[in-house]
Structure 1
Amino acid sequence: MVDRHLTQKELAVYLGVSDRFVEDRVQRRDWPFTRHPESRLVRFSPADIRQIEEIAQQPALNGPLARSAA
C-alpha cells in the first residue's frame, strides 16, 4: 500500500510496468491522476493508485480468453 503521491516513473516501478505504459494510460485518461495546476506535473494519489489496482483486477474484454468465454 502506498501512502504518498507518486510520479509517473515511481508508479511504473511500483506496478512493474514501463514508463511508456503509464504515460499512455495518462494520455488516454484511462487511469485517475492529479495534475498540479501551476507546473502541470502528473501525480498519483494513494486513492488514484487504489483505483488503478482495482482496474487491473478486472478481466479484459478483448483477447483470446474473452472470446472463448463468450
Structure 2
Amino acid sequence: MKVAVDQMKCGTIGICVKECPEVFRFQEGSKKAVAVLDEIPPRLHGKCREVARRCPNEAIVITE
C-alpha cells in the first residue's frame, strides 16, 4: 500500500499528521502534509485509511 497527499487539495488542517505521524508530516514552509514513507507497513494500513476518510479535502490518495 502507498499513500500520497494531493498538494492542490491539502488545506493544512493536519488530521493526517496528528492521527498518523508515522506516515505524515508537515512540509517546512508550506505546512501542507506529505507522506514520508514509500511503502506503508501493514500495521498502519487501517490508520491511513481512516485519516484518508476523515480528510475534509479528500487530499489523501491511497493505492494498493
TM-score (norm 2): 0.30
Of Structure 1 and Structure 2, the greater strand share is in 2
Greater relative CO, 1 or 2 (CA 8 Å, sep 6+): 2
Structure with the larger helix share: 1
Q: State the structure with more CA Rg.
A: 1
Using structure 1 for the length normalisation, give the TM-score.
0.28
